[in-house]
Structure 1
Amino acid sequence: MMLETANKILGNSTFRRRLEELEILEKERIFCGHGLEHLLAVARMTMLICNERNIAAEADIVYSAALLHDIGRVEEYTQGVPHETAGAEMARQILAEIGCCREKTEKITGLILSHRKGGDKADKLKAAFYEADKKSRMCSFCKAQDECNWSKEKRNYNIEV
């Protein structure tokens, strides 16, 4: 299966530059990072959840949204802008640069905008994307557990789908 949009994002110079900026900003961060490993984990976990629960999900949209969902953290760290808002705006720019159609852009940015505050329970794909973002972390191995502000209920100590 070819993920045309997601692969174009990976090759996009704006995306690559932003990912490098994010890596620099998080270099001293003791908590979960938001690099490529996390982005791909969110995509894979979303697809697993959707498969398990028979939720319709187009892989290219899920992977594209996952690659872009934390790209707005640069603005969050430097300007205090919520990263889902800044991320959706940056995603629109990157998607325009790669020639993504409006309909697909809206689906991708919809997932990005809903990934932080509980998703959209009425939209099963958005809810799965939100859940995958949270479950993609393995808290039981985190060196910053004692300093983390995630509630005990939100933390992941087991592997589950």
Structure 2
Amino acid sequence: MKLEYANRILINEYYQDQLHKLYELEKDRIFCRHDMEHFLNVARIAMILCGQKKIELSADIIYSAALLHDIGRVQEYTEGIDHDVASQVTAEEILDSIECPRKMREKIISLIAAHRKIEMDLDTPEAIFYKADKLSRNCFECEARAQCKWKKEKMNLEIEV
């Protein structure tokens, strides 16, 4: 099954520009990078968690949100704007330019807005997306773990779903 809007995001010129800027800004980063591998891992984990919790959410929404949720890191690194806020703004621009339907756009933005919130109902799409973002990190094999600012209890030191 092809994901219409996620694929539109992938080929969007502004998205590609921001993605390349993000890769350049993080090229020397020793901690987790915000790249396509991370984005796709978040989406795949969210799909699994939605299935486990029997939460119906389209794959196109999940993948679109995953592709966009950290894109605001460019503004975080260059302008000091929190990336979750900047990601929402950038996502709105991209979603408008690809003619994403309003209801779908609202859900994608809601997932992006929630990806850094800590206390949430565990049976909502937003909580699932938050958890998927965190579970996507393989702290158990990270060479920079000793220098990481994540608290040890937040790190993924075992495989979990």
Measured against the shorter chain, the TM-score band is: over 0.9
Deviation by residue 1:92-118 (Cα, 9 ceiling, x = unmatched): 000111111111111101100110122
Q: Give the letter aligned to residue 71 of structure 1.
A: I
Contact 2:9/2:95 (8 A) holds in 1: yes
1:151 matched to which residue of 2?
151
Deviation by residue 1:68-127 (Cα, 9 ceiling, x = unmatched): 000000011111111011000000000111111111111101100110122642761100
* TM-score normalized by the length of structure 1: 0.96
Deviation by residue 1:38-68 (Cα, 9 ceiling, x = unmatched): 0000000000111112112211000000000
2:60 matched to which residue of 1?
60
Identity %, equivalent residues: 52
CA distance in 2, matches of 1:28, 1:57: 36
Are 1:101 and 2:101 counterparts?
Answer: yes
Q: Give the letter aligned to residue 80 of structure 1.
A: G
1:24 matched to which residue of 2?
24
After TM superposition, list the pairs within 5 Å mapping 1:88-127 onto structure 2.
88-118=88-118, 120-121=120-121, 124-127=124-127
Deviation by residue 1:22-49 (Cα, 9 ceiling, x = unmatched): 0000011110000000000000000011
CA distance in 2, matches of 1:120, 1:89: 23
Are 1:74 and 2:78 counterparts?
Answer: no
Q: Give the letter aligned to residue 46 of structure 2.
A: T
Q: What's the secondary structure of 2:152's corresponding residue?
A: coil
Larger CA deviation: 11-20 vs 114-123: 114-123
Q: Are residues 123 and 155 of structure 1, via their aligned partners in 2, closer, same or farther at CA, if it must alter by over 3 Å? A: same
CA distance in 2, matches of 1:145, 1:158: 13
2:40 matched to which residue of 1?
40
The count of aligned residue pairs is 161
Q: Give the letter aligned to residue 82 of structure 1.
A: D
Gaps of 5+ in 1: none
Contact 2:42/2:66 (8 A) holds in 1: yes
CA distance in 2, matches of 1:133, 1:119: 14
Runs of 4+ in 1 over 3 A off after TM superposition: none
